Amino acid sequence: MLGFAGVVLIAKPWHAGPDQISLEGVLYMVGGALSVGLSFVYARKFVKPLMLNPMALATYQTGTALVMLLLITDIGGIAPVFGDTKAMLGLILGLGILGTGVAYIIYYFLVNQMGAIAASGVTYIPPVVALIIGAVFVGEDIRGLDIFAMGLVLTGVWRVQVARQNAL
């Protein structure tokens, strides 16, 4: 709950006007968060016993997703992305290799090493990292509420890890 509260404070959804928040979008975010949470339990219960290498699991998962998305996605509008070298490299290296590939390798490694509940705690850290990157590379301001929110997130993750250690 601490991590969730911190993420909400970082996102500051109340800063948008009432006509700028899409209920459908919020429901998609909640559904996505629920899916991620369930994925940790699923991976621990059904995938870990297979004793597969995290690199292989990440490759299978992203490869299968690629095939599925190619079947249902209209790729007609992607030409401008591949026409801009920075956009193309950001898409391939940043989102594809680092943001998805390496993230899934780490995901399966954490599930194997820590278990589903403890590993799921690290999913709260990306908003903190994004806030810091925004401040360092883009010059965005970090205010007191942001620091408080980061503290909530990190305290929540720390509490999950402490509870895990005490359970062992």
Query: How much is the pLDDT for 147?
Result: 92
Residue 131 lies in a domain: yes
Mean pLDDT computed over every residue of the chain: 84
Q: Cβ(108)–Cβ(56) under 8 Å?
A: no
**Can you give the residue range of the structural domain that contains 63?**
2-9+23-73+86-167
What is the structure's pLDDT at 136?
A: 93
Classify residue 79: in a domain, yes or no: no
Q: What pLDDT score was predicted for residue 88?
A: 92
Residue 156 forms part of a structural domain: yes
Instruction: Tell me the three-class secondary structure of 116-134, residue by residue.
Output: HHHHHHHHHHHHHHHHHHH
Task: Say what the pLDDT of residue 9 is.
Answer: 78
Please name the residues in contact with 43: beta carbons below 8 A apart, sequence gap of 6 or more: 107, 108, 111, 116
Does residue 14 lie within any of the structural domains?
no
Residue 2 has pLDDT above 80, yes or no: no
In this predicted structure, the answer to whether residue 8 has a pLDDT above a threshold of 90 is no
67 vs 163, higher pLDDT:
67
Lowest mean pLDDT among 7-16, 48-57, 79-88, 145-154: 7-16
Q: Give percent of the chain with pLDDT exceeding 70.
A: 97
Q: Is 129 inside a domain boundary?
A: yes
Note whether 74 and 145 are within 8 A (CB).
no
Note whether residue 18 is domain-resident.
no
Overall domain count for the chain? 1
pLDDT at position 168 is 67
Residue 81 is assigned to a structural domain of this protein: no
Question: Model confidence over 106-139: pLDDT tens digits?
Answer: 888 888 888 877 787 777 788 888 889 989 998 9
Flag whether 145 is in a domain.
yes
pTM for the full predicted model: 0.66
pLDDT at 44: 85
